[in-house]
Amino acid sequence: MKAVFIEQPYKVKFINAPEPVIKNPDEVKIHIAFTGICGSEVHAYKGTHPTRLPPIISGHESSGVISEIGCAVKDFKVGDRVIIEPQKACGKCPDCLRGDYNVCPEKAVLGTIKWQGSFGEYIVAPERSVLHLPDCIPMEEGALAEPLAVAAHAVRISSVGLGRSVLIQGCGPIGISLLAMCRRAGAGKIIMTDVSLYNMDAAKLMGADVLINAQKQDVVKEVLTETGGAGAEVVFMAIGNAEILDQAVQCTRRYGQIMEVAHFGSEPPFDARNYRWKELAMQGSYMFVRKDFEIVIAALASGQINVKPMISKILPVEDCAAVMKMAHDRSEDFVKILFQF
Ligand SMILES: [Zn+2]
Ligand SMILES: [Zn+2]
C-alpha cells in the first residue's frame, strides 16, 4: 500500500508498505480517502512528539471506505463510508468505566508507535472507534471531523451558551473549529487572535466577529474594549505559545472561564495572583469521546457549519516529502492540508 513514512526526523519518504491485517474479530479494515496533517504530525516530523516517534507511519485525521470486516463486526459492511475516532481505550479502568475513556491512561492513539496511522493507505480499527459518514458529507469534510470533535468536546464541557462572549486565541484548525462549535452553541460576540492574515481571513469567512492581529495590536486592550471593559466570559487557548496563558488571565472577565485546549511545548509562566483576584476557573480539555463525533456529524450533515474555508490544500500523498517540509517551514499559507490517497 501507499504510505507516508517518517523515517527519521526531517526525513519523509513515499513508500510501498505492507498492509495492516485484521487480528481481532471486532476489527474493520479501512481504505483511507483523505487524511489531514495535524500539528502533532509536524512534531513527529521534527522528532519532538513523545508518542509519534520516527520511524513511523503517523496520521489520525481521516475518512475512508470499509474494505474488509472481522467475523464479529455488527454495524459495518464492505463499501461503507466512514470516519475514524482515532483512539482505543482499555475499557476496564475507572475512567473508561465512567465513560471518560479519552483520559484512559492505557489508551492507544492512531498514528503512534502503538497503532499504525492513516498516513498509510489502509488502517485497521475496532468497530467501536469507527462512525458512519452520511452520503451528504463529502469525504474531504469527513477528514476534518477529528479537529472539529476536539472543539465539540471543549465547547461541550465549557460554560459557553446563548449570548456569551468568547475569546479564541489562535486561528489554526483547532481555533477555527472552536469558532464553528461556539457559534453552534449560541455564543454571542466571538473574538479571535492570530498573526497570520491568511488564517484570520479564514476565521472571518467562518463567522468570527472581531479579529485581532497579535503582532500589531495590543490583544488585552482590544479584548477589553470589545467587551465593555469586562473581558470575555470564556477564553479558549488554542495555540501553545508561552505568553498565551497570562494573556488569557488578563482577557477573562471576573468569574469567567479559561479553557485549555492548546499543547504547550514548555511550561508557560502566568500571574497566579490575578487568577485568584478575578476568581477565574480553568478547565482542561483533552481529545474527545464518541458523542463529540456524533455532534460534529450532525452539524455537518445539517449544514449548520460550513468547514470549506478550513481546507486550504488537497495534495497527492506521493508528494509527501515536499508537503511535510512545507507544512513544517510554513513556506506557504494554510489552515488545513489534506493528503489524498
Ligand atoms: Zn489532530
Ligand atoms: Zn481505560
CA of 225 to the centre of ligand 1 (A): 33
At residue 268, the pLDDT reads: 83
**Spatial separation of the C-alpha atoms in residues 50 and 36, rounded to whole Å:** 20
Shortest-distance ligand to the CA of residue 99: 2
Q: Any idea which ligand is nearest the CA of 88?
A: 2
Ligand 1 center from residue 146 Cα (angstroms): 6
Cα-to-centroid distance, 288 and ligand 2 (Å): 14
Instruction: Assess if CATH 3.40.640.10 describes domain 2-144+307-340.
Output: no
Give the closest ligand to the alpha carbon of residue 98. 2
Identify whether the C-beta of residue 128 lies closer than 8 Å to the C-beta of residue 122. Answer: no
* Residue whose C-alpha is closest to residue 203's, from 313, 337, 306, 329: 306
Task: Please state, for a pLDDT cut of 70, what percent of the chain lies above it.
Answer: 100
Count CB atoms within 10 A of the CB of residue 276: 10
What are the DSSP E strand ranges found in 9-151? 11-16, 27-36, 61-69, 81-84, 87-88, 108-109, 122-126, 130-132
Q: What is the pLDDT of residue 50?
A: 87
- CA–centroid distance, 264 to ligand 1, in Å, is 15
Q: pLDDT at position 12, please? A: 97
Q: What is the pLDDT of residue 173?
A: 97
Minimal CA–CA distance to 31: which of 14, 41, 19, 15? 19
Q: Report CA-CA distances (Å) from 130 to 125, 126, 189.
A: 7, 7, 35
| Tens digit of each residue's pLDDT (9 = 90 or more) over 4-58 | 999 999 999 999 999 999 999 999 999 999 999 999 999 999 998 889 999 999 9
**Which ligand is located closest to the Cα atom of residue 85?**
1
Ligand 2 mean position to 178 CA, how many Å? 27
For 261, phi then psi, to 5°, come to -115, -10
Domain segments of the chain as ranges: 2-144+307-340, 151-284
Instruction: State the Cα–Cα distance between residues 197 and 334, nearest whole angstrom.
Output: 11
DSSP H stretches of helix in the chain: 39-46, 94-98, 139-142, 145-156, 173-184, 197-205, 219-226, 244-251, 272-277, 290-301, 320-329
Distance 145 CA to ligand 1 centre (A): 10
| CA of 89 relative to ligand 2 center, distance in Å | 5
- Distance between Cα 293 and ligand 2 center (Å): 19
Q: Which ligand is nearest to the CA of 118?
A: 1
**What is the number of the ligand closest to the CA of 288?**
1
Asked if 297 contacts 138 with a C-beta cutoff of 8 angstroms, the reply is: no
| 44 CA from centroid of ligand 1 (Å) | 12
- pTM of the predicted structure, to 2 decimals: 0.97
Q: Which-ligand-closest: CA of 101? A: 2
Tell me how far the alpha carbon of residue 100 lies from the centroid of ligand 2, in angstroms. 8
Looking at residue 321, its pLDDT comes to: 97
Please tell me the distance between residue 290's alpha carbon and the centre of ligand 2 in angstroms: 15
Rounded to the nearest angstrom, the distance between the alpha carbon of 229 and the centre of ligand 1 is 35
What is the rounded distance in angstroms from the CA atom of residue 169 to the CA atom of residue 258? 11
Strands 210-213 and 190-194 turn out to be parallel
Q: What is the pLDDT of residue 248?
A: 96
Q: Which of 5-9, 115-119, 249-253, 264-268 has the lowest mean pLDDT?
A: 264-268
Distance CA 159, CA 155 (A): 8
CA of 294 to the centre of ligand 2 (A): 21
Let me know if domain 151-284 sits in CATH 2.60.120.10: no
Report the separation in Å between the CA atom of 135 and the middle of ligand 1, taken as the mean of its atom positions: 23
| 260-301 confidence digits (pLDDT tens) | 999 887 788 878 899 999 999 999 999 999 999 999 999 999
Mean pLDDT of 228-256: 96
Q: How many angstroms is it from 266 CA to the middle of ligand 1?
A: 19
